[in-house]
């Protein structure tokens, strides 16, 4: 009976060991599979991060270029506004001159048509 118990115990222990070995092997395979999957995911994330950082760098360069262009355009706009102000002032001066010259021209035309106007003016100036 003792031999039978001992034999059955050995067989039960052997089955338990084989079952545990099989479970360990399955767990090792699962660990290898998960490690491989995680490594692939990590690589994918690293590639995505590299692409995102490259895109960010490109966008920062583009932004910098756009800011320089905007600054240049603002300076040009300021210059053009200053020129417009100067030209507007000159236009007003020229309009005033034109009005004076037009009045003088009309006076000359009137004198040309009626020279007696000069005598009337001469009398007013003497008085």
Q: Rounded to whole angstroms, how far apart are CA atoms 51 and 45?
A: 10
Spatial separation of the C-alpha atoms in residues 35 and 60, rounded to whole Å: 36
pLDDT of residue 78: 98
pLDDT at 124: 80
The string of DSSP codes covering the chain is -HHHHHHHHHHHHHHHHHHHHHHHHHHHHHHHHHHHHHHHHHHHHHHHHHHHHHHHHHHHHHHHHHHHHHHHHHHHHHHHHHHHHHHHHHHHHHHHHHHHHHHHHHHHHHHHH-THHHHHHHHHHH-
pTM: 0.50
Share of residues in the chain with pLDDT > 90 (%):
83
The reported pLDDT for the residue numbered 105 is: 95
Residue 127 has pLDDT above 70, yes or no: no
pLDDT grade, residue 122 (50/70/90)? confident
The predicted pLDDT at position 118 comes to: 85
């Amino acid at each position: 009976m003792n031999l039978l118990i001992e034999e059955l115990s050995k067989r039960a222990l052997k089955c338990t060991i084989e079952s545990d070995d099989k479970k360990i092997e399955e767990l090792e395979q699962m660990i290898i599979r998960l490690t491989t999957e995680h490594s692939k995911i990590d690589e994918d994330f690293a590639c995505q991060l590299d692409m995102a950082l490259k895109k960010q760098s490109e966008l920062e360069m583009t932004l910098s270029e756009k800011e320089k262009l905007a600054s240049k355009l603002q300076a040009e706009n300021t210059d053009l506004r200053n020129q417009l102000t100067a030209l507007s002032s000159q236009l007003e001066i020229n309009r005033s001159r034109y009005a004076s010259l037009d009045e003088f021209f009309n006076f000359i035309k009137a004198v040309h048509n009626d020279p007696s106007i000069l005598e009337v003016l001469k009398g007013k100036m003497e008085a």
